[in-house]
Amino acid sequence: MSQVSGTNSLSSIMDAIDLGPTGSVQMMFAKLQLAQSEICKAQATDYMKQIEEIQNEQKECAEMIEQARNCQQMGSNGEGVGKTSISGTKTTGKDCYPMSQELVDFMNERGLSFPNNDKDYILGKDEWDYALKSLTNYQETVGNKTQTLMVYLQDFIGQYNSYLQGANTQISNANQTLTNLARGQ
């Protein structure tokens, strides 16, 4: 069988599959099954790429949650006093710590909300709680997408295996028919 790449059209995939000079119904059915298995394989590969991208997003989100928790903890310990935020404002008092530009960018790019009415990017304990809830809710949403895509991926893998098994059965049956004809049975 020739390798099929870069195409999802059933007819173009079937044209690329070479099962030899036979034109039997069994071999045509095997060819159709192989073409269908290639389509399922391509779709499964697409889902695997999407899952990989989402897993990278989950990892980045987990890093941002860790960073936010560390900032909240440092603010609670009084380590934020005198720090300069990304807006150039100096922190004052206990329970405040500035957000990093990386965290601000991450949350803004994904449309996540965080309290910053005064536009200084310095958050107190309750404000960090709010930002952390926003991040963890986003993380759950991303996790749900992964689970959904995994279900689809498993479905396409099952279909791929079924089509491939059907093709192999038809090829085996066609070969058995040819063997029987050659023996005069």
pLDDT at 4 over 50: no
Please check whether residue 4 lies inside any domain of the structure: no
Nearest in space to 38 (alpha carbons), one of 161, 170, 179: 161
- Backbone φ and ψ for 142, nearest 5 degrees, come out as -65, -40
- Backbone φ and ψ for 85, nearest 5 degrees, come out as -85, 175
pTM above 0.75, yes or no: no
Number of domains present in the structure of the chain: 1
pLDDT exceeding 70 applies to what percent of the chain? 90
Please check whether residue 2 lies inside any domain of the structure: no
Please check whether residue 137 lies inside any domain of the structure: yes
Which residue range(s) make up the domain with 159?
10-183
Please check whether residue 1 lies inside any domain of the structure: no
pLDDT digits (tens, 9 = 90+) for 41-76: 999 999 999 999 999 999 999 999 999 999 998 888
